[in-house]
Amino acid sequence: MNSAHQRQHADAACCGSGCATVPVAPEPTASDATTIGPQRFRIENMDCASEESEIRRALEGMAGIRSLRFNLGDRELAIAADDHALPEALEAIRKAGFKPEPLGAKNVQRFRIANMDCASEESEIRRALDGMAGIRSLQFNLGERELAIAADDPVLQQALDAIRKAGFKPEPLGDTGSSAAAVASPTGFWTTWGKSLGALGLAVAAEGLAFAFPDSVPVKALGMALAAAAIALSGFSVYGKGLAALRQGRLNINALMTVAVTGAFLIGQWPEAAMVMALYAIAEAIEARAVDRARGAIKSLLALAPEQAEVRQDDGNWVRMGVKEVTVGMTVRIRPGERVPLDGIVSLGQSAIDQSPVTGESLPVDKSPGDEVFAGTVNQAAALEIRVTAPASDSTLARIIHAVEQAQSSRAPTQRFVDRFAAVYTPAVFVLAVAVALLAPWLMGLTWMQAAYKALVLLVIACPCALVISTPVTVVSGLAAGARRGILIKGGVYLEEARKIKAVALDKTGTITEGKPKLVAFEPVDTGLGQQALEGLAKSLAARSDHPVSKAIADGVSSATQEVDEFQAVAGRGVQGVIDGHTYVLANHRWIEERGQCSADLEARLAVHEQAGRTVTLLASSERVMAICAVADTIKSSSAQAVADLKALGVTPVMLTGDNLATAQTVGTQAGIAEVRGNLLPEDKLQAIGELQQRMGVTAMTGDGINDAPALAKADIGFAMGGAGTHTAMEAADVVLMNDDLRRLPETIRLSRRTHAVLWQNIALALGIKLVFLLLAIFDDASMWMAVFADMGASLLVVFNGLRLLRQQAGQ
């Protein structure tokens, strides 16, 4: 519960038996500390979960730390902390054996690498730069084929040279995000499918020539020319990267294909060499298209925001202009049926908005003056005018897309495992092929040419392309599927680890409950006046106060207000004023007792409300109590279902709240939560998370992402109720629930379990198919055609299996 909530409940503290609340404005507070952050640091020797845990333990309980964000893939840590706490945190990290180096926006340059489009090529570049001192961070965006390098100029030039030696061509990107090469080079049909299909046609011609005509020198020469042209047309990029890898003593997919195709050509199997390279190029193009589909699934949301907005000018006229030209504070008009172009606050009009692109909500949400609207959502009913609150580059939709892109760049645990496995698997296969070439003539009675051919077939079959591509496409599909449902997952590690959650700690206010007090009961005590008259008196007094309880009373009754004279807020007791010449008060129990207006019957009626967790305020005249106003923070309609879903998944829900225990237990009973802990300060929640982790295992924390930040950081996975993507929530937690619907939490766990299952299905498919065809190649006849179809088939199977996550609803 945040500090505002704690102050509110402190004002509502009991003042004896059967106490009530005084609806007075909360006293302002000031913080002596300035919050810094988040600031990013590179920690070179931090690359796995155990080291992350060591750092978390080193910072455990340290006051002033607002949030910790780990990016193990890039060895980065983002710390949001008070100004005095950040140096202490860095010193604690150093004492734990780590060396945090600050990362800033300066000296970060972006490059487009046209032939970098899958995880294996990312791994190649990482290995080429591995151990190079002075590189502070690498940020890969495979979907755009971009790499951002944070390094000083001398080191940057060394890094670029190493990337070029690895067979890649980095082109600098300017502020606009485009390079001359990227703009000049077409990426359409004829540069990808055109070349591949042309190469396939040449390979078929070479195969037909060898089959239809006698073996003569002219036929051989023409066939070899056709095959060489096919290989050059389809395999130029593969050869470039393969030869670069071989020169550096590295064995990767491109190196295996380069050796296999070259070897087949040299031993006279030039038609098959050409066919293998052409089919491999087609398979690569199909895979790239499928992977781009997964990566583009979330970016397609960006197209939902219109490129133009209707903006009011200083002279009152309305002019359409590009959304990038619209600045904060301008007024924009959205007609019925149009999409909202920018984030803003409604200033005029009432309508229903379809927010499903941003929050995943299935039903439209009513909007009126003062309510927020988000870029990309659809105005359905009536015209609205909004005051713009964020530029197009910083809209909620843009921040969602940026967060998912960042999540894609951090490698999930299974992906890191596959990368390590492939690094051992590929050289092992190469050694096996050499052994077959050298030993098969002695052990299997083959000729040297037959043994060499069998070894080359083994190389093609064993290419780990399917294995390497299986994990990133699945993880990206899972991230995109979650984002479509309003679940913003900050990285593959959290997508995978969510399936292990055993306990979920839930804040009460704003998480399980609405977070806004509402008038739930208005009971007349004095029957001399009618219900409407009593409600009018209560509303007239309450409307003059800005206390949350007073606002709830004023909003909860529909009667008209009356003029209030001599209005006064009495600290610790309530408010009073004169209406039509009579003095009335909205008071707590203490004030009513001091005025001598309590009775046994009134005490009994108050006790009923208090046992239900309600805050009670009394309307009284100078002579008697006239009405009871009961206010409560009502439970969300979705909370009970969310808790039931968590239990069905085998997850134990626990409520942690700063509210009093009686109210907490009432809300817990309504939500179906058995374990409830109340009267907790932020440090108490931190200790409770540690105790749950020891007792139950992997523990998640769900809160508002602000004052729950210490507990969110302590938990294995932090879920923030995002309020449609507030900046603080996006920084504080590992997963943001964009529409504050608690049912998204069990959906996340189900999505994690499905993603994990698909990951291991893909690994089993890739290795199983490889094993079958490896045995066929060693002990039976297998051609290079069969080898390339096995590799292509396995790759396409795992890609399309991973894409299934995009077609499923996150809640299934």
State the catalytic residues. Answer: 507
Task: Please give the Cα distance from 313 to 332 (Å, whole number).
Answer: 10
Contact call for residues 298 and 397 (beta carbons, < 8 A): no
Task: Please give the Cα distance from 477 to 474 (Å, whole number).
Answer: 5
**Helix 784-807 / helix 465-484 crossing angle, nearest 10 deg:** 10
3-state helix, strand, coil in the chain (%, to 5): 50, 20, 30
Q: Which residues contact 528 (CB under 8 A, 6 or more apart)?
A: none
Retrieve residue 607's tokens.
């006790």
DSSP structure string for 449-511: HHHHHHHHHHHHHH-THHHHHHHHHHHHHHHHHHHHTTEEE--HHHHHHGGG--EEEE-IIII
Beta bridge partners of residue 172, listed in sequence order: 111
Retrieve residue 762's tokens.
């893909």
Task: Please give the Cα distance from 226 to 206 (Å, whole number).
Answer: 6
Helices (H), 66-178: 85-95, 119-129, 153-165
Nearest to 308 by CA among 421, 423, 392: 392
Retrieve residue 494's tokens.
């959290």
Nearest to 467 by CA among 428, 417, 432, 433: 417
Contact call for residues 765 and 790 (beta carbons, < 8 A): no
Place of tokens 């190389």: 459
Contact call for residues 332 and 316 (beta carbons, < 8 A): no
Q: 513-524 and 135-141 as β-strands: parallel, antiparallel, unpaired?
A: unpaired
Retrieve residue 115's tokens.
């032939």
Q: Is 21 exposed, middle or buried (0-12, 13-18, 19+ CB in 10 A)?
A: buried
Q: How far are the Cα atoms of 193, 204, 397 from residue 201, in angstroms, in the given order?
A: 12, 5, 45
Q: With residue 332 as reference, give the H or E element that holds it.
A: strand 331-334
3-state secondary structure 577-600: EEECCEEEEEECHHHHHHCCCCCH
Task: Please give the Cα distance from 404 to 487 (Å, whole number).
Answer: 10
CB-CB neighbours of 391 under 10 Å? 16
Contact call for residues 637 and 740 (beta carbons, < 8 A): no
Interior CA angle at 181 toward 178 and 183, to 5°?
A: 55
Contact call for residues 334 and 374 (beta carbons, < 8 A): no
Reduced to 3 states (helix: H, G, I; strand: E, B; else coil), residue 559 is: coil
Task: Please give the Cα distance from 287 to 415 (Å, whole number).
Answer: 17
Within 13 Å and on the Cβ side, how many CA atoms surround 577? 21
Contact call for residues 660 and 638 (beta carbons, < 8 A): no
Q: Which residues contact 256 (CB under 8 A, 6 or more apart)?
A: 242, 426, 429, 430, 459, 460, 462, 463
Q: What's the DSSP call for residue 512?
A: I
Q: With residue 517 as reference, give the H or E element that holds it.
A: strand 513-524
Contact call for residues 304 and 357 (beta carbons, < 8 A): yes
Calculated CA dihedral for residues 128, 129, 133, 137, nearest 10 degrees:
-170
